[in-house]
Every structure is written in C-alpha cells, then in structure tokens.
Structure 1
Amino acid sequence: MARILVFGEALVDLVGDPGGRRFRADPGGSPANVAVGLGRLGNAVTLVTGLGDDAFGRLVTGHLTASGVTPDVRPAPFTPLAVVSVDDQGVPSYDFALSWTPSAPAMPPDTAVLCTGSLAAALAEGPVEAAMAGAPAVAYDPNIRPPLLGDRASERRRVERQVALSDVVKASDEDLAWLYPGADPVEIAHRWRRLGPALVAVTRGPRGCVAVTAAGQVERPAPPVEVADTVGAGDAFMSGLLSALLAAGLLDPARRADLAQAGATALSAPLATALASAAITCARPGADPPTGEELKTFL
C-alpha cells in the first residue's frame, strides 16, 4: 500500500470553556490531525513530528497509534501546546507554546505523497521545503496562524514559494483573507494554480468549497450539519480529499496531467469525501475526524 508521509507539528490542544478556568486536553496539531484522519480512513500513514518525553507526549502518541498512524517522533524539550478559545459560533482562536526544531525527514521508498504545512512550514521553512522538493507528490495547507507569523508581505512570499512546490493545495478563505486582504479567494486560487499545483481547493466554511484546476473551477456546497465547533474541520477536509484522490490513482506522479485537467466528474467523489469528513468533524467537539465506516454511512 502506498504511504502518505505527513511532516509537521503534533501538540496538545488545551480547550477552555467560554469564560471558564477549566481546560480539556485534546491531541491536536494540524498535520497530526490530517494524519489521524488519513489513518482512520484506512491509509498507510506516517507522521514525522516532535514530542516531549512527558505525559502530553504519551497522550499524543497513544492517540496517533490508536488511529492507525505510525509515529516517527523526534525528541523535543516538551510537547507543544495550543491554548484554544472557542467563540459563540464555534470558531477557535489559538495561543501557542512550541518547542520542536524539525529537520527534513528521510523519504521511505513506499512514500506516494508528502503532506505538510501549518506551523512547521512557517517556522522551519528550510527543512520543510527540502522535503517538499524531494517528494514524489506534495500536498500543502498553509493553515495561517497570524500570532506566530511575520509581516504579510514576507509570509505571502513564503506561502507562494511553498505553493509552487506542491501538487495539491488546500487553503481556507480565512487563510487567503489574511494573506491577501480584500482579494477574491477564488481568484487567488486561480493565481496559485498557475504557480504550479495541479489542484487548489479553497474551503469556505458553511458555503462548501471551490476546487481549481487547469480545466476550470468546481464548486460544491457543504452538507448541512449541526456544528459543535470547527476545530480540525479543515484538517479533516484535507485527509478526506487526499484519501479519495489516492484511491482514484490521481496522486500517482504518472497521472499528474490527469489531476491537472480534472473537472467536475473526476473531482465529484474526492470533494464529496472531503466535505463529508469536515462536516462529521464539525458535528462533534474537537479535532475528531471520521472512520471509514462513519464516512460511508454519512455519504
């Protein structure tokens, strides 16, 4: 079975009750959430990350293993933390305590796709970009976290450089609004596609998503769901999308031209899978992506 290598942060989300002083500890981190989603959907997936030799690190490792992920853990002084505040609409904001300095991972011979992005791509761009350049195919989510970033102009340059190294790019409309204030997110997706990716997908919350290829753009609505919160929804979208593209053979480097020319028919199942994965995650608290059986039942 082809393997997906996910490279990036795993951490513990400390999720507080609105206005309260108690916090729930949930395993998280955008790349780790993607890896968990992929593992639960039956894919062979390895997460290269950094964790401390502490209780939180053991919590994260147990969570990964239980979800079918092979952890490739590099030692860190402590397990990274994100303090998550969720507003009345279920939308999270984050404060971080980080400790990991990553180095580019070796690429196992059965690797089909490297998936990366988020904090690792912003704070360790050298190792991340070296890994991207050496991978057979690359999936990338910038997952913008403004409190940890520099000025917009330098971050735009970094993100566009990493987009150009990618085959599949997923970004939220919120990511694009921060990077390009006032711009149309779909127009930015078209611009990014011309930098090199075969597929650029923009998630738009309850309005679904838009996918852009050389064949044009495909819009799909989000399934209706009662939202608990949106923590991990974008990561679930990415894991669902990659799982379906891999199953369809569209992440094979020999079929890159097919992915680049994919239209509504070819993207129907991948986008439905991605949106359903996100919807299921929104319907329950925290980053809790679906299993393959849950996804099949939902669809």
Structure 2
Amino acid sequence: MPSKSLDQEFEGKTAFVLGGSSGIGLASARLLAERGAKVVIVGHAPDTLDVAEDLSAGGRKVIGLHGDASQSDFVHQAIETTAKSFGSIDVMLCSAAIHPVGDVVETDEASWDRAFAVNVKSMYLACHFGVPHMIAAGGGSIVTVASVQATSNTPGVCAYASTKGAIVSFTHTLAIDLAKHGIRANTVCPGSIITPMQEHFAKANGNGRSVEDMYKEFAKPVPLGRLGTALEIAELIGFLASERSGFCTGAEFTADGGLLAGLRIF
C-alpha cells in the first residue's frame, strides 16, 4: 500500500511527459512536479522551454525539450536526456495530439498520416525507447491519453477518432506485454475538456459563433451540464501514475461528465 502523503507521492520518481507544454499534458506535468516528481516535458509548442522554466519555480526539477514527437531521433534523444539527467524513468505520460477535422473524403492523405504520426507513432517511439529504462528501474506506470471518441463519435473526426481507437489497443498490448516487468499501462478517455485543442475545435466548427457559445453547445449532452477541466483529468492521470492504482492495468478510464452513460432520444 502507498505510504507517502499525497503531496509527496512521486518523490524520488521521474516522469516523462510527451505533449507536456499545454492542455492535459501541462496540467499533469504540473501535478506530478508539485507532488515531488522530477519531470521532463516534451512539446512541439515554441514556448515549451518557457513552460518548463515556469514549472521549475520553487526548486522543482523540470526540464523542457522542444521538438517533433513523431521523429525517432528526437524522441530517442529526449528519453536518453531524461535518463541521464534524473537516473530513471518511472512514469510515462503520452498525451501529444493534434485534431484534424473532416470526414473520410475531406481528410487528405497528408492529414491522415500526420494525425497518426503525432497521436500514435509518438507513443510508440516514447515506449520503444523508454520502456527499457523503466524495466531497469524495476517497473513503473504508463498512462496514455485517448478520448471518448475512440468508440463514440461526432461527425467530421475521421482521422482523430481513428488514432484514439488505436491508442486504446496499443495500451492493451503494453499492459499484457509489460506486466511481467512490473510496468502497468492504462489509458484515459476524456470527454469535452477545456484545453487549447478544444478551443481550436470550437473555432473550426463554430461558423462564426463564439468559443463560449460553442462550449455551451458541447455541454448540452453532458449530464453534469459542463465541460471538464484539464486539472480534473490530471488528477485521474496522477492516480493512475501512482501506487494508489497498483492493481489497475490494461484498462480505459472514462472522464466525460456522464456523456457516454446516456442515450439522448428526446
């Protein structure tokens, strides 16, 4: 059973956060750092290094690495920098993602390939290079970020939804293959969460309506009557990354305000 207090539960642990410069990844990186983890955030956003510096306030140990997570050489270097700087990799969070819009006809081949490169290949690369370090550390926890759209969709998300379904299956394989090494793997499936990606999606589908109006529209089918926050998802990720979820592996954890529990027929 976990013996450390919640605010120090990751003390002595190292977390590698793919897609850690914004949204759910950033909220999770902050939570992990605040609870004692040494954190490396990998992001494609130009301000990734500034984000890492901000997270380092108060003496927290955070490194930022800026680059394309779909590129093998960069991810390999990022993993090796993490292990060399902090000595181990105990937690791996894979949350890098883009959200192209379009049905199967509207989605061109380049957009399809880029979605799978960023959303899925990045996770493969991080685990391909990172898992040997986790094995050497004696185990750990991998958390991937999928979506409710892995199984239930709205129109015009062909590429995005397909990548999220792939992430769920990929995580299952990690759980089965790595259990013997003491490594657990689980996936989080958020619903509509207030993040820069959600804002982008709202603008792309708003037809001139404000982001705030689109958020109200997105919230209508949600039983809790609102969108979720990145911090709420980060709390779930923190649980799955910690010893508190020691018997959880190979599972999907939905956080959608009750969206998928209902059937809207009137």
- Which of the pair is proportionally richer in strand? 1
State TM-score, norm by structure 2.
0.46
State TM-score, norm by structure 1.
0.42
- Which of the pair is proportionally richer in helix? 2
- Greater relative CO, 1 or 2 (CA 8 Å, sep 6+): 2
